[in-house]
Structure 1
Amino acid sequence: MAPPARFVSFQQRTRQAFPLRLGMRWSLDRMQRRSAEEIVRYQERRLRLLVRLAASRSDFYRDWFAGAGVDPASIRTLADLEKLPLLDRSHLVHRPERFLVYPRLLTWVAHSSGTSGQVVTVHRTPGSSVYELASLQRQWSWFDVPHRPRSLLLRSSDPDPEGAGVLTREIPATRQLLVSSFRLGQEQLPQLVDQIRAFDPQVVEGWPSSITILASLLRERGERLPVRAVITSSEVMTVEQLTLMREVFDGPVVDHYGQTERVVMAGACEAGGYHEFPDYGIVELLPVEGREDRWEIVGTPLHNWGFPLFRYRTGDEVGPRPTAPCPCGRAFPLLGKIDGRVEDSFTAANGRPLPLPSVVLDDLVGLREVQVAQLAPGCFEFRLVPGTGADTSAAEEQARRNVEKYFGPDQTVTFRVMSEIPREGNGKLRAAVRLSAPS
Structure 2
Amino acid sequence: MKSHLPEKIYLASPVWLQNVLVSTYGAFEHRRRYSGPHKKYVEYLRKNVFLNKTEIADLQSKLLERTLKHAAQTVPAYQALNLGPTPKLTDFPLLERESIAMNAEAFLSSKYKKEKLITLFTGGSSASPLKIYISEEARQKSYSFWQLFYDRMDFHVGDRKATLVGRKIQEPDSNNPPFWRYNLKDRQLLFSSYHLSEKNVAAYLKKLNSFQPKIIEGYPLSIYRLADQIIQNSIKLSFTPTGVSTSSENFTQKQREIIEEAFGCKVFDQYGSAESVVFASECEHGNMHIEPEYGVLEVLTNEGKIESEGSGELIATSLLNEAMPLIRYRIGDLGEITESNCPCGRASKILTELYGKVGAVIINEGRQAPTAAIAIAFEYLEGIKNAQIIQNEPGKVTVRLVKRTNFDSKSEEFMIWELKKMLGQSLKISIDYVTEIPPEHNGKYCMVVQNYYKFTVPD
- TM-score norm. by structure 1 comes to 0.89
Aligned partner of 2:29 in structure 1 is 11
Correspondent of 1:85 among 93, 105, 127: 93
Q: Any idea what the Cα deviations from partners look like across 1:205-241, whole Å, max 9, x if unmatched?
A: 0111111122223334322442110001111120121
Distance in 2, Cα, partners of 1:151 & 1:43: 33
Superposed, 1:3-402 pairs within 5 Å as 7=25, 9-16=27-34, 18-62=35-79, 64=80, 68-71=81-84, 73-75=85-87, 80-101=88-109, 102-160=112-170, 165=176, 166-225=178-237, 226-289=240-303, 294-319=311-336, 321=338, 324-348=340-364, 350-356=365-371, 357-387=374-404, 389-402=405-418
User: Does the aligned pair in 2 maintain the 1:13–1:173 contact within 8 Å?
Assistant: no
Question: Secondary structure of the residue that 2:195 maps to in structure 1?
Answer: coil
Distance in 2, Cα, partners of 1:425 & 1:19: 45
Distance in 1, Cα, partners of 2:388 & 2:172: 27
- When residues 53 and 74 of structure 1 are mapped into structure 2, their CA distance, relative to the original with a 3 A threshold, is closer
Identity among equivalent positions (%) equals 28
Distance in 1, Cα, partners of 2:183 & 2:123: 26
**Residues 1:420 and 2:436 are matched in the alignment:** yes
Q: Any idea what the Cα deviations from partners look like across 1:380-407, whole Å, max 9, x if unmatched?
A: 11111112x3223122111111112111
Question: Secondary structure of the residue that 1:428 maps to in structure 2?
Answer: coil
- CA RMSD across the alignment: 2.6
User: Does the aligned pair in 2 maintain the 1:224–1:249 contact within 8 Å?
Assistant: no
Which amino acid is the alignment partner of residue 69 of structure 1?
N
Q: How much has 1:161 moved relative to structure 2?
A: 5.8
> Matched residue pairs, number?
423
Which deviates further from its counterpart, 362-371 or 252-261? 362-371
- When residues 417 and 123 of structure 1 are mapped into structure 2, their CA distance, relative to the original with a 3 A threshold, is same
Question: Secondary structure of the residue that 1:375 maps to in structure 2?
Answer: strand
- TM-score norm. by structure 2 comes to 0.85
User: Does the aligned pair in 2 maintain the 1:383–1:418 contact within 8 Å?
Assistant: yes
Which amino acid is the alignment partner of residue 334 of structure 1?
I
Which deviates further from its counterpart, 202-211 or 149-158? 149-158
Which deviates further from its counterpart, 143-152 or 330-339? 143-152
User: Does the aligned pair in 2 maintain the 1:154–1:207 contact within 8 Å?
Assistant: yes
- Runs of 4+ aligned residues of structure 1 deviating over 6 Å after TM superposition are 290-293
**Please, which runs of 5 or more residues in structure 1 have no aligned partner?**
none
**Please, which runs of 5 or more residues in structure 2 have no aligned partner?**
8-21, 454-459
User: Does the aligned pair in 1 maintain the 2:197–2:366 contact within 8 Å?
Assistant: no
User: Does the aligned pair in 2 maintain the 1:343–1:433 contact within 8 Å?
Assistant: no
User: Does the aligned pair in 1 maintain the 2:72–2:82 contact within 8 Å?
Assistant: no
Q: How much has 1:410 moved relative to structure 2?
A: 0.9
Q: How much has 1:242 moved relative to structure 2?
A: 0.3
